[in-house]
Amino acid sequence: MPIQTLPEWEAYVGQLSGADLWSKTIAMNTQRFADSHLANGGHIDEVPQILGLFVRRILQTEGKLPEGGTFNLAHMATQEARLRPLGDA
């Protein structure tokens, strides 16, 4: 069953690191992911929130953000202060 809720995404992303985190971030930053999320009952507004979890996790692990893709991850990172930290309810 696909991950559905933001808390589920938060728990999933929180366990990722290294190359696995990097590759999953690239996969999430695509129109294909957005289409899949919507087809599984998700809302379009959740897509950047989910990707923000990946951006935050990379920043926490001092990784370099991937370039390219549907969203500008570097811009998302500049908005970090507006994102809810991992683990906060």
46-68 confidence digits (pLDDT tens): 999 999 999 999 999 877 899 99
Phi and psi at 15, nearest 5°, equal -95, -5
Whether pLDDT at 89 is above 50? no
Let me know if residue 36 belongs to a domain. yes
**In sequence order, which ranges of 1-89 are alpha helices (DSSP H)?**
6-14, 18-28, 31-39, 46-60, 73-78
Let me know if residue 46 belongs to a domain. yes
Report the number of distinct structural domains present in the chain. 1
Let me know if residue 29 belongs to a domain. yes
Give 56's DSSP letter. Answer: H
Let me know if residue 69 belongs to a domain. yes
Summarize pLDDT for 69-81 with one digit per residue, the tens. 999 998 888 876 4
Summarize pLDDT for 36-50 with one digit per residue, the tens. 999 999 999 999 999
